[in-house]
Amino acid sequence: MSGGVLRVSAEHAAHHVLVCEDGPLAEANEFLSALHVRGLSPRTIRAYAYDLLLLYRWMRSTNTVLRDLTPPDLLGFIAAQREAKAEPKSINRRLTSARLLYRFWMDRELGFGARVNLPGPHYKGPGRDHYLGIHQLRRRGARKLRVAEPRKLVEPLTPEQVRAFLRSVTRYRDLSIVHLMLLCGLRSREVLELRVGDIVFGDSRIRVRGKGERDRALPLPEVLAKIIQQYQLLERPRQCAEGRLFVVLQGKQRGRPMTVAGLRSLFRHRRRRATLTMANPHRFRHTFGADMARAGVRLPILQQMMGHADLATTMQYVRLSMADVADEFHRALTKLAGRYRR
């Protein structure tokens, strides 16, 4: 399937389908249609489609078909993905997509065989949760073939970097966007999908359409409320194509919803400065999460604020960054120096 491409076909405009030079890939597309019937979001189905596209390209290159797929074969797929410089997290997601597709068609799990090195079980103590230890754990089933994922530290922006970035922003619209990430922890897509009615000034809250169709409500900080009001009063066109909060302010697309490319350009131009190279949209969200964790916000509350489905994702904000470690180290070192001074 070296010539395969991925596109939205006319008869399946609601979600993505796989096509190649021989026509649609019915095997994969029936699986994607089932995901659509289950109500998964178009972006989730799109992610599955791209995962399966890579899987089918590899199977075509190795003369493998789905019904004959074995766990040792998946090791070859992993090797090909590593050679393509894919991230470990992406490889694991593609392995999951392959297993789900196999189970969909074969009505059984993609079992285990010889020459497959599975990850060892992680000891979590006597049946307690590894992170909090406050509830019993269910016994886990068989281990799945996975790639080791490195644990990455969350490096938030420093107060100096945040202040420098905010000083470079001149429009109320752009200030609103940055503050929604910095003070509310919104993702880029969540910012772009906000509608005018989602900002409830009377109740000081924001309604957010989150990842995986999980909506949540967040408090509306007073400083952010004032900036959004100034944007609506002074910058946002009176006549807009639809009710999206953030729209294009000039040019032929004036009044049209702001795009992902437009939001990225807001940050990309400012990252050219040496002091702001780390200032991307997700870094502001990281900064919010780290700030909330430092302030002592409880984990379940932080998980709800960030819109995480898995507590393990929220835990990355609790782990100290290198800057936090350095601050604590130097503070302790000052005390030790006085203790051992001759």
Q: What is the pLDDT of residues 231-287, one digit of tens each?
A: 999 999 988 877 999 999 988 989 999 999 899 888 887 777 766 677 888 889 989
Where is average pLDDT lowest: 106-110, 144-148, 205-209, 250-254?
144-148
What is the band of 7 on the pLDDT scale with cuts at 50, 70, 90?
very low
Specify the pLDDT at position 19. Answer: 74
Give whichever of 101-110, 175-184, 300-309 has the largest mean pLDDT: 175-184
Under the banding of pLDDT at 50, 70 and 90, the label for residue 118 is low
**In whole angstroms, what is the distance from residue 181 CA to residue 263 CA?**
12
Mean pLDDT on 171-200: 95
Whole-number pLDDT of residue 92? 92
Domains and CATH numbers, the chain: 5-106 (1.10.150), 159-324 (1.10.443.10)
Checking if the pLDDT of 60 tops 50, the result is yes
Looking at residue 131, its pLDDT comes to 54
Greater model confidence, 153 or 27: 27
When pLDDT is averaged across residues 172-177 and rounded to a whole number, the result is 96
Mean pLDDT of 124-130: 54
Of 271 and 72, the structure prediction assigns the larger pLDDT to: 72
At 2 the pLDDT is: 42
Please give, one letter per residue, the 3-state secondary structure of the chain: CCCCEEECCHHHCCCCEEEECCEECHHHHHHHHHHHHCCCCHHHHHHHHHHHHHHHHHHHHCCCCHHHCCHHHHHHHHHHHHHCCCCHHHHHHHHHHHHHHHHHHHCCCCCCCCCCCCCCCCCCCCCECCCCCCCECCCCCCCCCCCCCCCCCCCCCCHHHHHHHHHCCCCHHHHHHHHHHHHHCCCHHHHHCCEHHHEECCCCEEEEECHHHCEEEEECCHHHHHHHHHHHHHCCCCCCCCCECCECCCCCCCCCECCHHHHHHHHHCHHHCHHHCCCCHHHHHHHHHHHHHHCCCCHHHHHHHHCCCCHHHHHCCCCCCHHHHHHHHHHHHHHHHHHCCC
Contact 250, 237 (CB under 8 A): no
pLDDT at 295 over 80: yes
Highest mean pLDDT among 91-105, 203-217, 259-273, 275-289: 91-105
- Please give the average per-residue pLDDT across 304-327, as a whole number: 78
- So what's the pLDDT on residue 311? 83
Predicted pLDDT of residue 142: 55
Sequence-separated (6 or more) residues with CB below 8 Å from residue 262: 248
Percent of the chain with pLDDT over 70: 80
Based on its alpha-carbon atoms, the radius of gyration of the chain, rounded to whole angstroms, reads: 24
Is it the case that residue 8 has pLDDT exceeding 50?
A: no
User: What is the residue-averaged pLDDT of the chain?
Assistant: 82
Q: For residue 128, is pLDDT > 60? A: no
Per cent of the chain over pLDDT 90 is 38
Ranges 98-112, 175-189, 207-221, most confident? 175-189
